[in-house]
Homo-oligomer: A and B are copies of this chain.
Amino acid sequence: MIVCKFGGTSVASAEQIQKVANIVKSNPARKIVAVSAPGKRSGDDIKVTDLLINLAMAALKNEEIEEELQIVVNRFMAIADGLELDHTICDVIAEDLHERVKGDKSNEELFIDSIKAAGEDNNAKLIAAYFNSIGMPARYVSPKDGLVVNDLPERTYALPEAYANLAPLKSTKEIIVFPGFFGYTKAGILRTFDRGGSDITGSILAAAVEAELYENFTDVDCVFSANPKVVNDPVEIKEITYREMRELSYAGFSVFHDEALMPVYKIGVPVNIKNTNNPSAPGTRIVPRRSVTGRPVTGISADSGFSTLYVSKYLMNREVGFGRKLLQILEDENISYEHTPSGLDDISVIMRSNQITLENEERILSRVKNELNADDVQMRHGFSMIVIVGEGMRNNTGLAARAATAISKTGANIEMINQGSSEVSLVFGVLQEYENQILQALYGEFFAHARV
């Protein structure tokens, strides 16, 4: 059995949904289909999800909502018309939206969640209706029937019983059309997943039914070895391990949200990133393990917006508990960190700058200075992290030398280097302004002859 997920652009219009039907039909193993809400049909289009947020906001402000609501219905109606479906489905959708708008507004976040989820939920109903109309027996299944998520206030995730609840879908005769992006708490409250939410739903379904493959249909042919916005015509990645994919999850690799990999990663279901608009392209396969070919590096990613907390103290490395206490101070501010390179008497904590405010920066600096008796404490901003990833880097003598040499040729100074004993990734910290130049230099070093 194959679980397929179709992203927003893949289900944005009647034409796109026809492509989806053809894809599903062409392989009888494709029995479970997770769908997003209709996305953009062109660059300046508005996603249904954003239309729904407008609706939710209007409702929360007790404004007239009929117009906002009708815009959403019209969008679905255009799709239904294009698919030659009668308007029954549109009535269902309009009624559903009216019901949701009347819902409990005591918790604004949950209210917005319930409105936003209408995009996926109704699109799944519509697509199931369409499949049936063209002779593909299909059934809409609601997340209410098993996709149990945790309660507030933690970010949403599927509870272990969700997998058991959804497992029986593996014996389905019809094609299951399942809305992405949300689940229900045990108390029946709708909660949406974070970004990449439909990817997560597909991944949960694939894990629950122990699918042979999880196909993730989007609008690109594959994952590239470097960000195509920075590197000209980068090499396509045919196969990549979960772990490589995860290490590359900085900018330029956002085609598949890393958190969404978790459920399939846990039980080893391979993933295939494919293009709805070019389904014959092999795409990129994400697998538990792979044989390493000649090229040691699989991909290079880069991201800006990092800050460094630098702490030095004489004889730091003799002090049992110093590092732990430092991290505790960050934890108290609910700050997660990326790396902690250290000398004998100093340690730098690298973290995302978006977690730092003027207030918590001051608190952190003062606590480190006073509670840890540090000799020197500084917070610096404006760093980028460049990550070179490849299973083939393990035991590859000289690779760090090549990377550092390529960077030094750009004239940039390496502010931080980090290579752990996993050896599938090598991280360089540099000043933000050098990021693109370094990414290009490293790509040139490791992929220059890749197409020869």
Contacts and interface: CB of A to CB of B under 8 A. Distances in A.
A401 to B, nearest CB: 4
Interface stretch (A99-107, A144-152, A209-217, A412-420): A412-420
Interface string A262-297: 100110000000000000000000000000000000
Interface stretch (A52-60, A84-92, A125-133, A392-400): A392-400
A259 B315 contact: yes
Contacts of A341: 339, 341, 418-421
A243 interface: yes
Interface string A305-348: 00010101011011111011001100100111111111111111
A425 interface: yes
A416 B405 contact: no
Interface in A112-129: none
A321 B329 CA distance: 10
Identical subunits present: 2
A248 to B, nearest CB: 9
User: How big is chain A's contact interface, by range?
Assistant: 35 or more
Contact of A405 (B321, B405, B419, B421): B405
Contacts of A323: 327, 337, 340
B337 A340 contact: no
A420 B347 contact: yes
A192 to B, nearest CB: 18
A255 interface: no
Nearest to A343: B425
A166 to B, nearest CB: 21
A331 B336 contact: no
Given A317-B338, A342-B340, A345-B243, A414 B400 contact: yes
A70 interface: no
A417 B400 contact: yes
6 contacts: A317-B338, A320-B334, A341-B419, A347-B420, A400-B414, A400-B417
Interface of A: 242-243, 246-247, 249, 258-259, 261-262, 265-266, 308, 310, 312, 314-315, 317-321, 323-324, 327-328, 331, 334-348, 380, 387, 395-398, 400-401, 403-405, 407-408, 411-427, 429
Top-5 shortest CB links A-B: A398-B408, A401-B404, A324-B327, A401-B405, A341-B420
